[in-house]
Each structure stands twice: as structure tokens, then as C-alpha cells.
Amino acid sequence: MEINLEKLICITQAAALGDACFDYILGEIRLGISELQIARKIDEYLLSHGGTSLAFPTICVAGENGCQPHGVPSDYRIAKGDLVTIDFGAVVGGYCGDMTRTVAVGRPYAELRELYYTVLDAQLAAIDVLAAGVSCQSVDTAAREIIEAAGFGEYYIHGTGHGVGKEVHEAPTLNAKSEETLQVGMAVTVEPGIYIPGKGGVRIEDLFVITETGIINLVKSDKSLIIL
């Protein structure tokens, strides 16, 4: 497989729009704002700054709602110490962006901070093995082993990533059952997460292009725990 330059250019632009939107929304998230209000602000930004449509319905979940990996934004209002997970992307030139960040509003308690850094370590471990010729299953294993070693294995309830192109979910699938291999030109997400009912959750997601010489992370936004 060769790199499709049109795809690379458009997905890079979509990812850049996502980064700009993240910078914007950090200034809008505050105590008392609702998940739904945050999601609407994200949608409005993406569609007014170059996105032709949303790549998928924007996810914003906070507090205990963070245990829902694909939760629908609600009227829940952000409280002090909450983690807020936002998963969003726009279509640019016919290709999709996709990124997720989890931020805190006020200092979260110790277990939530542990969840965050466990997920970050898992993502970095998966990124370390991401390359052409590597099995998709091995990428999932790298992330999953970190989360399991920290004692949260039962709360990692989805795969580690997926392909992205004109659809936001395309081949390959990076999970424990995948029989696919990463190839040059593929764009894939790496997005481990932990979701604990009654407590909350964390997901961190970047979008990568596989090249002959390595990988390109199209998402540039900070992954340290941002406390607003």
C-alpha cells in the first residue's frame, strides 16, 4: 500500500482543525457548564472553521458519566474535580479527523489521577510498537498489558484503535482478535481507555499515519493532565 497524498493532506488538515478546536474549548470548559453545552460549542467551532460536516456525533462525558466510552452528552453540569472526556472530529476534503482528550476541572482525587496516567502510559506503550508490518493485535496487547498490570484490565472495554479515512471507522481494527497487519499509508487511531462505573473514565486518542520510515502523529495537542 502506498501513501495517498490527497488522504494525507486532508486528514492532516482535519487533525489540525481538531487541535485548534481543543485549544478553543479549553477556554470554554468551566464549573457549571453542561456536557451538552460543551459538545455544541465543539460542533459550532468545527463547522465554522473549515469542517464540512462532523466525522461522528461529538462525545462529551464528565464525572461519573465518564464511564461510558460512547456516552451521549447530557444536561449534567461540570463539578469541581470532574474529569471531562471529549471525543470529536470534522470532515475536511472528504476525510475524517478523530481525537480524544480528557481534562480535569479542579484537581481530581488520587484514583482519577492514577487512571489518567495509566491510560497515558498505555497509549505511549502502544505507540512505541506502531509501525508498518506490525500486527494490529500486538498494538492492542501493548496498551492492554499496561492497564492490566495497574489492576484496571476489566475496565478496558474496547479495542485500542481503528483505521480512519473517508469513514471514521475503517479497516484495520486494532484489538485483541485482529488478524490484520499495519501497512504503509494506513491512518489509525491509538485510543486506550479505562471506564469505572460510579467513578468515571479516561480516554486519550491520537491519529497516526504509517510510513515506510515510521509514523506521523497528526494530533499535536498536549497529553499531560490539564487542570482547568
Q: pLDDT digits over 177-205, tens only?
A: 999 999 999 999 999 999 999 999 999 99
The dotted CATH code for 5-217 is 3.90.230.10
DSSP state of 57: P
Say if residue 135's pLDDT is above 80: yes
Say if residue 62's pLDDT is above 70: yes
Q: Is 193 helix (H, G, I), strand (E, B) or coil?
A: strand
Say if residue 145's pLDDT is above 70: yes
| Mean pLDDT value across residues 17-27 | 98
Q: Does the global pTM surpass 0.85?
A: yes
Rounded to whole angstroms, the Cα distance separating 84 from 101 reads 8
The model's confidence at residue 1, banded by pLDDT at 50, 70 and 90, is low
CA 74 to centroid of chain Cα atoms? 20
How many percent of the chain have pLDDT more than 70? 99
Q: b/e for 74-105, b at 16 or more Cβ within 10 A?
A: eebebeeebbbbbbbbbbbeebbbbbbbbbbb
Q: What is the pLDDT of residue 4?
A: 86
Summary mean pLDDT of the chain: 97
Rounded to whole angstroms, the Cα distance separating 139 from 129 reads 6
Rounded to whole angstroms, the Cα distance separating 78 from 82 reads 7
Q: Quick one: cell of 92? A: 475536511
Q: pLDDT digits over 65-92, tens only?
A: 999 999 999 999 999 999 999 999 999 9
Contact 100, 86 (CB under 8 A): yes
| Mean pLDDT value across residues 47-64 | 98
Domain coordinates in residue numbering, the chain: 5-217
Say if residue 157's pLDDT is above 70: yes
Q: What is the pLDDT of residue 93?
A: 97
The one-letter code for the residue type at 46 is: L
Phi, psi for residue 14 in degrees, rounded to 5: -65, -40
Q: What is the pLDDT of residue 5?
A: 86
Q: Is 125 helix (H, G, I), strand (E, B) or coil?
A: helix
